[in-house]
């Protein structure tokens, strides 16, 4: 089922015909995984326990293992993520305290490998 194309933190996308662009398949799954990881619990009014809340790590002492554990704890809550092979989460920080995340997982519908890369920092 298609949904509006919207990457977390960005605007809705417009199609070539001027309508709202639609996301489906693997792209929709990526959008949902990213939204879950970056949404803080309590922010989604219809499901108050939804979200990993990675934003709480911004400005805090970097604990890569804790960030990785939070991500792993949320991945299988999305139907788009295949159970096998298990997702691979790589969290790294630079000398300035910026935290970078790469998540590789298999799309549940197609089995195709998916990768998300994003930053959990304000710099």
Structural domain boundaries in the chain: 26-119
Task: Give Cα separations from 2 to 5, 26, 56 (angstroms).
Answer: 9, 11, 31
Low-confidence stretches of the chain (pLDDT beneath 50): 5
Peptide bond into 85 cis (omega under 30): yes
Pairing of strands 113-119, 99-106: antiparallel
Predicted local distance difference test score (pLDDT) of residue 95 = 86
Helix (H, G, I), strand (E, B) or coil at 1: coil
* CATH number for domain 26-119, candidates 3.10.450.40, 3.20.20.70, 3.40.50.300, 3.40.50.2300: 3.10.450.40
Q: Round to whole Å and give the CA distance between 123 and 56.
A: 14
pLDDT tens digits for range 1-31: 566 545 665 665 666 787 666 656 788 888 8
Predicted local distance difference test score (pLDDT) of residue 10 = 61
């Amino acid at each position: 089922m298609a949904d509006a194309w919207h990457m977390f933190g960005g605007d809705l996308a417009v199609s070539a015909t001027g309508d709202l662009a639609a996301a489906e398949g693997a792209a929709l799954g990526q959008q949902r995984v990213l939204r879950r990881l970056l949404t803080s619990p309590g922010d989604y009014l219809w499901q108050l326990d939804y979200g990993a809340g990675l934003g709480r790590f911004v400005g805090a002492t970097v604990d890569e293992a804790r960030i990785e554990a939070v991500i792993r704890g949320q991945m299988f809550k999305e139907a788009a993520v295949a159970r096998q092979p298990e997702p691979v989460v790589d969290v790294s920080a630079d000398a300035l305290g910026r935290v970078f995340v790469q998540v590789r997982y298999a799309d549940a519908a197609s089995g195709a490998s998916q990768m998300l890369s994003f930053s959990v920092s304000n710099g």
